[in-house]
Amino acid sequence: MTTINNHLSDAILMAYSAATLPEAFSLMVATHISLCDECRARVESFDAVGGAVLEETTVETVKLSGDALAATMALISAGAAEPAAPKPARKASILPAPLQDYVGGDVENIKWRSVGMGVKQAILPTSKAASARLLLIPAGAAMPDHGHKGIEMTMVLQGAFIDDGERFGRGDVEIADSDLDHTPVADIGEDCICLAVTDGPLQFKSLLPKIAQPFLRI
């Protein structure tokens, strides 16, 4: 079990629970909580609060008849008594299930496009409000130096990267905003694969990536 040190904020987990996030950020949360028990528990508690609020408003309008209530209770207790389904044995995947739905499989199904300097990306099909992409940074290589117009969240799926002296491993999320100029460098030993979502186009510092930017949609 890997230890996750860098989590999502309550604000974004709450927005996820309320289903108000753009698709790309929803995908980020779904992917993170599939690896992170801590954030998943927080989402479940927000879901419960949201459900309770919903229930309060419906109970006033819909009065359950005694029979319906008994039937519901019977269903609940039947559900509770059911043994947990055994987990199917399968090889450990790099991409958590929410991402596999977008890619149509695991890492071998990702359609990479070169961004230069060995870095590759694959843009995922999401609504235009925000963008989501997978990034592959070769072991020991750096992401092009860039700033941000909006918020960027980057979560590690394979390998690790180091940014400003901090190490981000599988499941860790780095959150960058317009105040941060950064150059994440992939850890040596393994190529780093990340999921990156952003609500604004990145601003690349050096000329070449800037020219390529409109073509690469990053």
| Distance of closest approach, residue 148 Cβ to Zn ion, in angstroms | 6
Residue 95 or 173 with smaller CB distance to Zn ion: 173
Tell the smallest beta-carbon distance from residue 87 to Zn ion (Å): 21
Among 36, 119, 157, 218, contact with Zn ion (rule: CB under 5 A) = 36
User: From the CB of 2, what's the least distance to Zn ion, in Å?
Assistant: 11
What are the structure tokens assigned to 81, written together?
């008594």
Smaller CB distance to Zn ion: residue 9 or 69? 9
Min CB(122)–Zn ion separation in Å? 17
Distance in Å, CB of 39 to Zn ion, minimum: 3
Q: Which of 25, 144, 152, 168 binds Zn ion (CB under 5 A)?
A: 152
Which segment (18-26, 28-36, 88-96, 205-213) binds Zn ion by CB under 5 A? 28-36
Which amino acid makes up residue 100? Q
Q: Which is nearer to Zn ion, 36 or 186 (CB)?
A: 36
Neighbours of 185 (CB within 10 A): 17
d(CA 3, CA 7): 11
Binding mask 158-187 for Zn ion (x = CB under 5 A): ------------------x-----------
- Residue 16 to residue 145: CA distance in whole angstroms: 30
In DSSP terms, 154 is beta-bridged to 174, 196
Site residues for Zn ion, 90-129, by CB under 5 A, read: none
**Separation of alpha carbons 73 and 92, rounded Å:** 38
E strand or H helix that includes residue 173? strand 173-176
**Sequence letter at residue 97:** A
The pair of three-digit structure tokens given for residue 120, joined into one six-digit string: 């590759």
Question: 202: which 2 tokens?
Answer: 């990145």
Q: What order of strands is seen across the sheet that includes strand 113-116?
A: 113-116, 119-124, 131-137, 192-198, 152-158, 173-176
Task: Return the structure tokens found at 78.
Answer: 């039947």
Size of the site for Zn ion (CB under 5 A): 6
Does 23 engage in binding with Zn ion (CB under 5 A)?
A: no
Which span sits near Zn ion by CB under 5 A: 60-68, 121-129, 145-153, 159-167?
Answer: 145-153
**In the block, residue with structure tokens 């209770």:** 73
Which residues form the interface with Zn ion (CB under 5 A)?
7, 36, 38-39, 152, 176
